Amino acid sequence: MEWKEYEREVCEQLKTRSGFKSLQTDIKLSGISKVKRQLDILVETENNKKIAIECKYYNSKVDIKTVDSFIGFLLDINVSWGIIITTKGYTTGAHKRARKSQIQLDVMSPEIFTKTMSGEILAWGRFIYQCIECKQETIRYCSDLDFEIVEVHENRSMGAESWHSAMWIEDCPKCNNLIDIVFDIIEYPPGDQGELLPKINGCLLLETGNFLVNSFRDPQDEELDR
């Protein structure tokens, strides 16, 4: 498949998602450094977070240089999540570099991208908890959370109220204290981006990351700005 064609297909997929207020393609952007760079796709969420997507055809694995320069660019234009779609994956060095960054950068295959975007909750960025016993701060990734709908209250005045929930349970890496965090997101009315109500045990939550509810609206219902 031609990658230009693939890029169009990705845009079509994104338009079926809720929670995005704008979608731009093939745009030239310059951040604080004033250096212009082309970006394949930029979407902005209803809560004003930017997600940058590159649909590049690479002949080999994405290397640390590519990741480095993309992260630099994303920081420059104030994007919270960068995604590079490639069929080749990335080198170990590039993966480590991506995970050490302040912003989240993911390298995904087209299949994983489709799966990620169709999830009921799109979660990205880091969450950081502090153990109440030893005070150690631990960084984890929202994309590793597994959300499911745990409760639906039908027939509320504005439609159904849905509870999306993901659980994070582990022993503190330093002192083995049990850490238990439940991320509850209440979607009401349907299509609302939801309020995050974390329930925590054994820790304090210092940072929570980004969450976007997907209510799978019909693309015909509402056209995105372009």
Q: Which stretch binds Zn ion (CB under 5 A): 59-67, 78-86, 167-175, 211-219?
A: 167-175
The yes or no reply on residue 27 touching Zn ion (CB under 5 A) is no
The yes or no reply on residue 204 touching Zn ion (CB under 5 A) is no
Residue 48, Ramachandran bin (φ over 0: left; ψ between -120 and 50: alpha; else beta): left
E-assigned strand segments in the chain: 20-30, 36-45, 50-55, 81-85, 104-108, 121-124, 126-131, 137-141, 148-156, 159-171, 178-187, 195-201, 203-207, 210-213
Residue type at 222 in one-letter notation: E
The interface mask with Zn ion, positions 106-145, x = CB under 5 A, is -------------------------x-xx-x---------
State in angstroms the smallest separation of the CB of 209 from Zn ion. 21
Residue 174 DSSP symbol: T
The nearer residue to Zn ion, 133 or 170, going by C-beta atoms, is 133
The yes or no reply on residue 169 touching Zn ion (CB under 5 A) is no
Cα–Cα distance between 114 and 149 in angstroms, integer? 20
The nearer residue to Zn ion, 64 or 128, going by C-beta atoms, is 128
Burial class (CB in 10 A: 0-12, 13-18, 19+), 69: exposed
State in angstroms the smallest separation of the CB of 177 from Zn ion. 4
State in angstroms the smallest separation of the CB of 179 from Zn ion. 8
- List the structure tokens of 195: 């309020």
Q: Which of 177, 193, 208, 215 binds Zn ion (CB under 5 A)?
A: 177
State in angstroms the smallest separation of the CB of 98 from Zn ion. 27
The nearer residue to Zn ion, 41 or 131, going by C-beta atoms, is 131
The nearer residue to Zn ion, 25 or 177, going by C-beta atoms, is 177
E-assigned strand segments in 47-125: 50-55, 81-85, 104-108, 121-124
Q: Which of 35, 149, 175, 178 binds Zn ion (CB under 5 A)?
A: 175
The yes or no reply on residue 39 touching Zn ion (CB under 5 A) is no
Q: How far is CA 32 from CA 74, 185, 203, in A?
A: 11, 35, 37
Cα–Cα distance between 86 and 68 in angstroms, integer? 16
State in angstroms the smallest separation of the CB of 180 from Zn ion. 13
Question: Where does this chain bind Zn ion (CB under 5 A)?
Answer: 131, 133-134, 136, 172, 174-175, 177
